């Protein structure tokens, strides 16, 4: 089974929005053992869309097309597919009812243009979309005398992901001739760059090129580097027998940098550790401007352990509201005073602080990327210094996950202390 991905949208070509859809689709296809043959992007032009669909289907068995299913005049993907199929579009009453229900639920008046989204090529299968007004579609085409399948999904990422997971991938798996099961394992790391990880795992990377278990790296920016392990096998039991020993070897070499696995995140691990130790946390931020707290509260249940926080961006705010006495606000002393005084004020078990220079210019003799992370509890008060690379935004993002990682490691050390 070979599947290609086509993204439709002039805004993608112009760089007005980022293409995250093709990355998500390709990653999911790979995890399921479906070959992602090719990815392309075309603008909102009927001739170019049609040409790309036919050309890509000469090499692929199936094609996933994202975008161009909206209600406006430049949303023409469904019309292009109808022409390629040699059929007309017809109003699907059930889809029209779904759209009307969505507008009614949002207490909004439906524009007549939205009924364009209920127009379906005759013979196409509707793939329900409870998250939006544009349904997905499954269309059958003949290219070069061979039957091919085209899936249309909305360009809105969370709508595309729902239709992909609920409809498209199950259909593709049912057509997949290889009956092997695919097991994947993701080890999420922070603290080492991709080249450093590759060096530590060099022998395993070489073995993976010809072995049963494949090993690769995926750079995830402010989420670090993911180590991806995957194996295809006739049964789940056999797949586990192959992948578990490799995972253990990876952890032997870089386990101290692994902060989460698979669907876990840095913040989910921290929230779980706080719950496990029946602890509470407060957060004081300077250069990160609330990014640390924002990440923590994204995880459901955070309110059980996250008491609150402060963004003390200016020096006078640090001094007035946190009683920071340190002369240098970019220092271990400042980070520790921020954490200690906030913890006492909010009466939490732990407090986390972050201060430093985001850039782009040096400040008071301190260079961009110089940051300090502080931790306070009744038993401990300490801080760590880091020199982070990248532009202003990356320094802030990297400081955010670095601070969280310092906290994670401290919480783990607490669990290992003798009682």
Question: Helix (H, G, I), strand (E, B), or coil: what is residue 311?
Answer: strand
In order of 328, 335, 372, the CA distances from 318 in angstroms are: 12, 10, 15
| CATH code assigned at 9 | 3.40.980.10
115 in the same domain as 197: no
229 in the same domain as 95: no
| CATH code assigned at 194 | 3.30.70.2860
Start-end of H helices in 86-141: 93-105
Q: What's the number of domains the chain is made of?
A: 3
149 in the same domain as 11: yes
227 in the same domain as 286: no
Residue pLDDT tens, the chain, 419 long: 899 999 999 999 999 999 999 999 998 888 787 888 899 999 999 999 999 999 999 999 999 999 999 999 999 999 999 999 999 999 999 999 999 999 998 888 888 888 999 999 999 999 999 999 999 999 999 999 999 999 999 999 999 999 999 999 999 988 877 667 788 899 999 999 999 999 999 999 999 988 899 999 988 889 999 999 999 888 889 999 999 999 999 999 999 999 999 999 999 999 999 999 999 999 999 999 999 999 999 999 999 999 999 999 999 999 999 999 999 999 999 999 999 999 999 999 999 999 999 999 999 999 999 999 999 999 999 999 999 999 999 999 999 999 999 999 999 998 876 65
* pLDDT for the residue 366: 97
Last residue of a domain, one of 261, 281, 307: 261
Q: Which domain holds residue 256?
A: 181-261
150 in the same domain as 50: yes
- Closest by CA position to 123, among listed 153, 94, 158, 88: 88
β-strand pairing of 370-376 with 381-387: antiparallel
137 in the same domain as 201: no
| CATH code assigned at 291 | 3.90.950.20
* pLDDT for the residue 233: 86
DSSP 377-399: -SS-EEEEEEE--SSHHHHHHHH
301 in the same domain as 384: yes
* pLDDT for the residue 79: 97
First to last CA, the chain: 56
Q: What are phi and psi of 39, to 5 degrees?
A: -125, 140
311 in the same domain as 236: no
Last residue of a domain, one of 158, 175, 192: 175
203 in the same domain as 66: no
* pLDDT for the residue 179: 65
275 in the same domain as 253: no
pTM of full prediction above 0.85: no
Q: Is 22 in contact with 66 (CB distance < 8 Å)?
A: yes
- For the segment 371-403, what is each residue's pLDDT rounded down to a tens digit? 999 999 999 999 999 999 999 999 999 999 999
* pLDDT for the residue 178: 67
Q: What are phi and psi of 407, to 5 degrees?
A: -65, -45
157 in the same domain as 291: no
* pLDDT for the residue 109: 85
Q: Which residues contact 353 (CB under 8 A, 6 or more apart)?
A: 283, 284, 285, 286, 335, 336, 338, 339, 342, 373, 374, 375, 376, 383, 403
Environment class of 193 (CB within 10 Å of its CB; exposed 0-12, middle 13-18, buried 19+):
middle
251 in the same domain as 374: no
Last residue of a domain, one of 150, 175, 200: 175
């Amino acid at each position: 089974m070979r599947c290609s991905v086509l993204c439709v949208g002039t805004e993608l070509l112009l760089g007005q929005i980022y293409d995250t859809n093709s990355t998500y689709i390709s990653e999911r296809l790979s995890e399921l053992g479906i070959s992602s043959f090719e990815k392309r992007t075309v603008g909102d032009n009927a001739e170019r869309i049609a040409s790309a669909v036919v050309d890509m289907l000469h090499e692929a068995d199936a094609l996933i097309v994202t975008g161009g299913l909206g209600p406006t005049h430049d949303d023409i993907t469904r019309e292009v597919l109808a022409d390629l199929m040699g059929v007309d579009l017809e109003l699907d009453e059930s889809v029209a009812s779904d759209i009307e229900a969505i507008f009614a639920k949002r207490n909004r008046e439906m524009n007549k243009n939205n009924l364009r989204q209920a127009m379906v090529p005759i013979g196409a299968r509707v793939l329900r979309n409870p998250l939006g007004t544009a349904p997905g579609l499954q269309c059958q085409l003949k290219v070069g005398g061979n039957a091919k399948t085209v899936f249309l999904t909305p360009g809105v990422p969370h709508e595309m992901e729902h239709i992909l997971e609920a409809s498209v991938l199950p259909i593709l798996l049912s057509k997949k001739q290889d009956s092997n099961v695919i097991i994947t394992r993701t080890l999420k790391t922070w603290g080492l760059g991709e080249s450093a990880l590759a060096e530590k795992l060099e022998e395993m990377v070489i073995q993976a090129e010809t072995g049963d278990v494949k090993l690769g790296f995926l750079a995830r920016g402010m989420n670090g580097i993911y180590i991806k392990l995957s194996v295809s096998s006739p049964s789940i039991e056999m797949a586990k027998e192959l992948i578990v020993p490799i995972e253990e070897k990876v952890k032997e070499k870089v386990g101290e940098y692994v902060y989460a696995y698979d669907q876990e995140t840095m913040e989910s691990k921290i929230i779980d550790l706080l719950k496990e130790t029946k602890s509470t946390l407060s957060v004081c931020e300077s250069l990160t401007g609330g990014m640390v707290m924002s990440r923590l509260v994204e995880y459901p249940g955070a309110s059980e352990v996250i008491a609150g926080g402060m963004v003390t961006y200016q020096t006078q705010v640090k001094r007035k509201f946190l009683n920071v006495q340190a002369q240098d606000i970019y220092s271990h002393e400042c980070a520790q005073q921020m954490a200690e005084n906030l913890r006492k004020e909010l009466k939490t078990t732990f407090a986390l602080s972050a201060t430093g220079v985001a850039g782009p210019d040096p400040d008071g003799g301190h260079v961009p990327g110089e940051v300090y992370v502080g931790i306070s509890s009744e038993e401990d008060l300490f801080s760590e210094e880091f020199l982070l690379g990248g532009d202003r935004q990356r320094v802030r993002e990297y400081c955010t996950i670095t601070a969280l990682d310092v906290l994670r490691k401290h919480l783990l050390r607490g669990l290992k202390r003798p009682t």
